[in-house]
Chains A and B, each alone.
Chain A
Amino acid sequence: MEQKDKNRPILSVSNLTIDYAFYRVGPFSAQHHAAVENVSFKVYPGDCFAIVGESGCGKTSILNAILGFVRPKNGAIFYNEQNLLTMARREFRLYRPEIQPVFQDFHNALNPRFRIIEILKESLRICSRKDISIEELIAVVGLGTDILNYFPHQLSGGQKQRIVIARALIPKPQLLLLDEPVSSLDITVAVQIIKLLKNLRKKENLTFLLVSHNLPIIRLLANRIAIMKNGHIFEEKPTEDLFETPEHPYTRALVNQALISCQSYQ
């Protein structure tokens, strides 16, 4: 399945519209609220593509649609030129391991009743990976074996997020979907996680689709950035271009704000 062709997008989203229905009185008076409207973008192999926007602008909905958790109203999502939305359930299951999520909410990302070692073993078994031991796996994310017998609530935020990343690597994914991977972490830990992700991308040949509202940190990781607001993507550019020549007023405000807050300490 490995596609080394740099010019063929690994993920291509076109005209995606996601609609949530609210039921006021009964199933007959549904009100619709479009969380994502007519969004298109392409992610090429080896990219780190970031979608930036305020909370509630529809970023997470896009990731959920790619993972098959919500059904979009319109549009298409091509993964390696296969439309994920029209394929049969069984076929979709084959693609599941290749696209793995890392969510923002790492406090809830690990089953609270399992020890770390059980959580990882469970995934190793389901994904039938025999070629890697748990010790090797957690070494990849920079953790020691001492935490294996802990329960999730005994770990710090950074450790939890590393375990989540380790688990996401188990099915040998091609594409990682990162939903605000560092925004609940403080800067020392956030920087370590960013570094880890950067190294992993090189070592494991991964492609990232990243979603966040924190521009300064995104800048360290992403090579393309799309700016999103109220369900629309306004502007999409390589990272440095975006910071130098923001076009849309909202982008400009966002970039300025980020730069101003950075001036507090230079």
Chain B
Amino acid sequence: MRPFTYERATDLGQAVREASQTPGARFLAGGTNLLDLMKLEIERPQHLIDVSRLPLAGVEDADGGLRIGAMATNSQVAGDRRVREHYPVLTQAIVSGASGQLRNKATTGGNLLQRTRCPYFYDTTKPCNKRTPGAGCAALEGVSRETAILGASTACIAVHPSDMAVALVALGADVETQTPAGDTRRFPLMELHRLPGETPHIETHLIPGELITAVVLPPPPPGGQIYRKARDRASYATAHASIAIAGGQVALGGLAHKPWRAVTAEAALAAGASPTEAMTAELADASVGELNAFKVPLTTRLFAAAVQEISGEAA
């Protein structure tokens, strides 16, 4: 672990300014991901700006929806009465991730920006384009099942591990940020993460020093909501595949470098296709290897079951 300096931010504007001006600066929120990676020297920040005590931890009503502060913990959001009543998909997604202890510490912003759990990303003796751009990708010919089938590149086949983000994409949430220049930006969360392309080390469209301040949920969509996640053990394991449905909107987890909005499946379903047909269409371009091929039937079946469960509830 490398030496670094630490400061506790008390002012939002100052935090973003410092973040953009101090070389090697990073925000620290719950620390459940960043500190682990620092211990392994996968992340090597020179300066940490602890934003966890900025007054951004509230969950407030906003235009018929909810505004969730970036520092609200995962446990807090999942347990919020309004979230449980109107956005059950979000509660289900959050509680299916990590463990109780981690969720008590992990924040909304940190969860969105957590890094992949690709085993070769964690093993610093292996080449990884995310850790060292241009080094190569050990996972490509590797022995991991947990690799992407959608939107991957030959530079990186890692998946984004967040469950919460999948639900948020299905709900059509926006992200609100503060830029180093002091401006507030707001854009669809679906546009936060990038596909790997040739630059898998650049994971989001945030500009350096930009801080996520909130996630804004639109009014709850009409129709049922559900989150389903398939994994090796009952808790504390990332998804082989996961599905969030909120009304007519569908998002997939565990399959790509970002939470995947399944627009093709949504359209097919709206046009009267069966869930199986709809997901088959969505995954038509999936690129699979021997070890992750199971994700195609798994996702298709999980989707059909999820749709059935929702319509069962509705009936």
The answer to whether A and B come from one shared complex is: no
